[in-house]
Amino acid sequence: MFALIRVRWLVGLRPARCAVKARTVSSARVRGTARHDRVHPQLNLISKAGHWLRCDQYLEAIGRPRGVEVSESPAILQRSSLRKAARAHRIGGMSELHDECGIVAVYHLPAAPRSPLCPDPGPEQVSRLLPRMLLDIQNRGQLSAGITTFHPDRDQLIDTYKEIGTVNEVFRLSHRADADRLMEEYAGRAGIGHVRYATCGADDRSYAQPFERHHLQKNKWFSFAFNGQLANYQQLRQRLLSDGDHHLARETDTEIIMHEISRELSGDRRPEPIEVVRNVAQRFDGAYSMVFLNARGEMLVARDPLGIKPLCYAFDGSLFAAASESVALLNLGFAAENIKSLAPGHAITIVDGQVHIESFAASPRRAHCFFEWIYFANVASTLDNRSVYLSRTALGAELARLEVADGRVPLDKDTIVVPVPDTSKAAADSMAYELGIPAREGLIRNRYTGRTFIEGVSGRRKKAETKYTPLREVLEGKRIFLVEDSIVRSTTMRVLLDRIRALGKAREIHVRVACPPIVAPCFYGIDMSRVDELFAPAFVKDGTLTEAIQAEMARNLGADSLRYLPVASVARAINLPAAELCQACLTGEYPTPCGQQLYQLALADIGQQGATPRTYERLRDLAPAT
* Catalytic positions, written as ranges: 101
Q: Which residues pair with 445 in a beta bridge?
A: 468
Strand 299-303 to 346-351 pairing: antiparallel
Q: Is the bond into 210 cis (omega within 30 degrees of 0)?
A: yes
Neighbours of 326 (CB within 10 A): 28
Sequence-ordered strand ranges (E) for 438-593: 443-445, 468-470, 479-484, 508-513, 561-564, 581-582
C-alpha 45/C-alpha 21 separation (Å) is: 12
C-alpha 114/C-alpha 126 separation (Å) is: 10
C-alpha 373/C-alpha 574 separation (Å) is: 7
Residue 142 · residue 99 · CB < 8 Å: no
The DSSP element (H or E) to which 5 belongs, if any, is strand 2-9
Q: Alpha carbon 524 to chain centroid distance?
A: 11
Give the CA distances from residue 215 to residues 212, 270, 294, 353, 536, in Å, rounded to whole numbers and listed in that order: 10, 14, 10, 23, 50
Question: Which residues, 6+ apart, have CB-to-CB distance to 97 below 8 Å?
Answer: 198, 199, 200, 229, 525, 526, 527, 528, 529, 614, 616
Sheet with strand 561-564: strands edge to edge: 415-419, 479-484, 508-513, 561-564
Neighbours of 84 (CB within 10 A): 18
C-alpha 323/C-alpha 339 separation (Å) is: 10
Residue 566 has what DSSP assignment?
P
Torsions phi, psi for 571 (to 5 deg): -65, -40
C-alpha 547/C-alpha 562 separation (Å) is: 9
